[in-house]
Amino acid sequence: MNVYIITGVSKGIGFELAKQLIEAGHLVVGIARTECELNGMKFILADLSKTDKLDSLMNEIIEAAPRHAGSFTLINNAGMIDPIGLIGSVNVEEITKAVAVNLTAPMIISSAFISKLKDFPGSKRIVNISSGAGRNAYEGWGIYCATKAGLDHFSRVVALEQLKATQPVEIVSIAPGIIDTGMQEAIRASNENAFPLLDRFIDYKEQGLLSSPEQTARKLISFIENKDFKEVGPIVDIRNF
């Protein structure tokens, strides 16, 4: 039995990943701050911005996992695009929350995952859902770009450290492309003064250039199941596969 732990599971890519993995016969533990009903999934209601509770949460999840599990995969999918706005105009509380959800939470959860499973001999993988925004600068997305860049670099460090581990964890930070989710809706609803590239993202939708969550989840699962993380490296764009 393969165990998948997925954050941000109540909608978008997270929901589709969970749905398709359950259909394939895997055990899925889903975490989200809003309720999610999906047959066959063990769901945990948790707000990832409350970072002081995440270490113990991950420990409990792994303690409760079947002892006969063949592999463990952590997918840090949860993320938020807000606050959108030029630096100097964004809300302090929103900055704090975005950094917690997009960067601090996956760092804490990944650390607990590595620590708790250090002696587990089977396959162990961490998949961080990143963004092209972590690799390119966009006006109005200072916080989002910075947190995704941080997630990328964190993944590089973990990959380097795990080369010396007796039972290593493989890790990738993967950009999933532009997907038709609630995040894209939030982007299109933003103000052009706050996000100068607004028209470009409206065009993506109108021209049918957005991938569906179903398609993206299918590609991600294929990548996770069929690619050697050590071979492709810690920084990946799904559109290259």
What pLDDT digit, counting tens, does each position of 65-83 carry? 988 899 999 999 999 999 9
Is residue 183 included in any domain, yes or no? no
At 160, list the tokens. 């380097």
Number of domains in the chain: 1
In a domain, 195, yes or no: no
pLDDT of residue 209: 64
Please say if 138 is a catalytic residue: no
What are the pLDDT digits (tens) for 126-152?
Answer: 999 999 999 999 999 999 999 999 999
Q: Does 192 reside within a domain?
A: no
Catalytic residue, chosen from 4, 138, 144, 204, is 144
Neighbours of 11 (CB within 10 A): 15
Q: What is the pLDDT of residues 19-70, one digit of tens each?
A: 999 999 999 999 999 999 899 999 999 999 999 999 999 999 999 998 889 9
Query: Would 197 be classed as within a structural domain?
Result: no
CATH number (domain holding residue 150): 3.40.50.720
Range of the domain at 119: 2-177+213-240
